[in-house]
A and B are shown apart, each in its own frame.
Chain A
């Protein structure tokens, strides 16, 4: 059962399995475990980025195509929905039209990029996509009468997905971190802490939207898992390892590469559309920025290229770090309280500095990312166990004879 859901690609590491189960539970019960709008937004962004990063990993990790135009497709999806709703009113039909239009545009652009990559070598492709994405960003910023320019667009979602819609009243949630905090800091107040941890969840249309997002993220992830473990995925990995050889074996690698670029673009466009519906506000900074592209790259590499589970781990680690590392650094700089250069190094606004260092170090020391490294360790332990067992066996046999 589990084998067929995960397409035979199990986590293959006990630590990883535990982490994945914990993430699954946290995302599934998220609105009931973590109170506050910030935690809610964090959960939603994790789901969005799981789709985006998994789609990116299909290109980067499985086929070794480095593209910097991923945010372009994300933005097309987000703006597609925003413009659809803007033109046809806030209904599901408008959303559908918006997504459809965005998907068509993405497919056309991805096909063009894919064809361009026919003409140029792999290393050029990264540079070309970078330039094209920048041109797209500049177009969106300049055409303010359509896209709202720097100010962006507000997405008036249908009432069923908005905060005014209340399908359920007074659902109770349990503040997990609040309770854990009490448990570790003042265990003598455990009973009070337990009672205080319960809170009322505002179950609104936004919560519904979150669950739709969660559902789509799950389905798309499983689909991608199925894809990379299919014969199609094997060919992609063959292209990654040695394109020339894959060609020599008779595979039309250009066809496969173009297909991957288009598929990845379509999934990312869809993620962008979901993001627009969840965030209800779209601007160049949160959808098209080059910084966002770098974030996607960081998530993909940190989680582990070529392992789809890495997309989940990377997205969770990065989004949580993005939202909460600043708090940690803030607390640290208050506690240390040194001025000058060293002081400003640990200022909360410079969290990216530390993340950048972590990223460079991880490329050097853990090139296979968190998931890859966990799998390597798990494999090593297995081998050691097998060796130990065999030794024990043979020594027992010696004792018998």
Chain B
């Protein structure tokens, strides 16, 4: 553009670049803007801690939200019962951690802890996945293609699932023990410049690592494998994939099960993070999940990840400045982004 009009100075060039950036990479612009504004509003050490914690929270939210966004993207099924799977995962994880594997949980050594944590997370994923399978076949399959009925049926199904959780594990809050080795915090050595002497909670680091690993795995599956190609093609044009002879129903079922399992995983992690769970926790988390998938653009894994980071960060930043406004800020962020880009940050489908 600057070639076409040689009279523009360097400022106009930069403005053009910025405009291009905000239309090409809105997620990075927004993320950078938020980090920058927060950096101005607080001292660097607090900012660093909050940023890391916010990203940890964001990656946990990403685990929960990714399934829902893919479900919508692939089959345009809006599953409002997704929160129930989060609760389910949290309860299964908690039962594993306190029940048979309780001995390993309380041990202070990481090796023994892993003997409890890995089966707990695996069980949470397995149970949520199996229930998700049943849920898809029994509840959702009959109402493909009808959004209104999907909303109604999944709301009803969500009530039933949450009630069943209450029937099985009681209506009261359940404390979840955090594994021994993950309690407490790291202290960064004093000699490290800028961030020396900071205290980082261990569990958040683990959550961040796990979240990033899952995100990396999902990107690999979506970008590099045959399965991923099919999923992406299905999101873009379902009928075309069907015409090629692929059984999109089966593919969708697989995605739904994986999404439910991830919700269960996120729920189990969230339970360990909060150290207390209720059957209704999934419903409360659904708000964040919904904001995330709207922010990211329905159906987009990358958008979902950045949306989750944004929601996690704004929650902690605003929660630090004025705790009472955290929820409002989250929803405000969503409304603002919708006004700016109604299709979400990284849209992949035309709804």
Contact = CB atoms under 8 A, between A and B. Distances in A.
B330 A120 contact: no
Interface in A182-241: none
B contact patch SS: helix
Interface residues of B, number: 42
A119 B342 contact: yes
A121 interface: yes
B156 A131 contact: no
Contacts of B338: 116, 119-120, 124, 128
A138 B339 contact: no
B192 interface: no
Contact of B351 (A124, A341, A363): A124
Contacts, number: 107
A356 B160 contact: yes
B160 A64 contact: no
B331 A134 contact: yes
A64 B334 contact: no
Given A64-B148, A121-B351, A126-B151, A139 B328 contact: yes
Contacts of A345: 167
A360 B151 contact: no
Interface string B115-133: 0000000000000000000
A198 B166 CA distance: 43
Contact of B160 (A124, A131, A357): A357
27 contacts: A64-B148, A66-B147, A116-B335, A116-B338, A119-B338, A119-B339, A124-B351, A126-B78, A128-B338, A130-B286, A130-B290, A131-B331, A132-B331, A132-B335, A134-B327, A135-B328, A138-B328, A139-B328, A142-B324, A142-B325, A298-B156, A350-B166, A352-B159, A352-B163, A356-B157, A357-B156, A359-B156
The 5 closest A-B pairs by CB, nearest first: A356-B159, A353-B163, A138-B327, A135-B331, A142-B324
Interface of B: 78, 139, 142-143, 147-149, 151-153, 155-157, 159-160, 163-164, 166-168, 171, 283, 286-287, 290-291, 293-294, 324-328, 330-332, 334-335, 338-339, 342, 351
Given A135-B332, A344-B167, A356-B160, 10 more contacts: A124-B338, A131-B294, A134-B287, A135-B331, A138-B326, A142-B325, A353-B159, A357-B160, A363-B153, A367-B149
Interface of A: 64, 66, 116, 119-124, 126-128, 130-132, 134-135, 138-139, 142-143, 290, 294, 297-298, 301, 341, 344-345, 347, 349-350, 352-353, 355-357, 359-360, 363-364, 367
